[in-house]
Amino acid sequence: MDDKVRITFDQEYKLRVLDPSKFEKAEKLEKECSSFVEKISSFNEKVTSLVEVLDCHANRIDAQKLRVGYCFCYFIIRPFIMVCVCNVRRLVFA
């Protein structure tokens, strides 16, 4: 890096400490970063909305399960072991 600081004038006669090419690259990087932040913010809003919708559906499903009073059983790989899941939300091994 240079130890000397160069002060230059740009096309609008403003004082600049950076070289014009470095200044242009810095401006381009700033625009790209702001575009990236906007895209990430938009993505975050969409994900938040999706999570809210899925949470709402999960709550509706749970409410329906409790209303119906579900109870179902299924077999595990080993024979003679059956797991029953009922609306009390406990696993009972028979």
- Residue 62 inside a domain? The answer is yes
Which structural domain, as residue segments, surrounds residue 27? 8-68
Q: In the chain, how many domains are there?
A: 1
pLDDT tens-digit readout, 33-91: 999 999 999 999 999 999 999 999 988 888 877 776 555 555 555 555 554 545 444 44
- Residue 63 inside a domain? The answer is yes
- Reported pTM: 0.54
- Residue 12 inside a domain? The answer is yes
| Degrees, nearest 5: CA angle 45-48-52 | 140
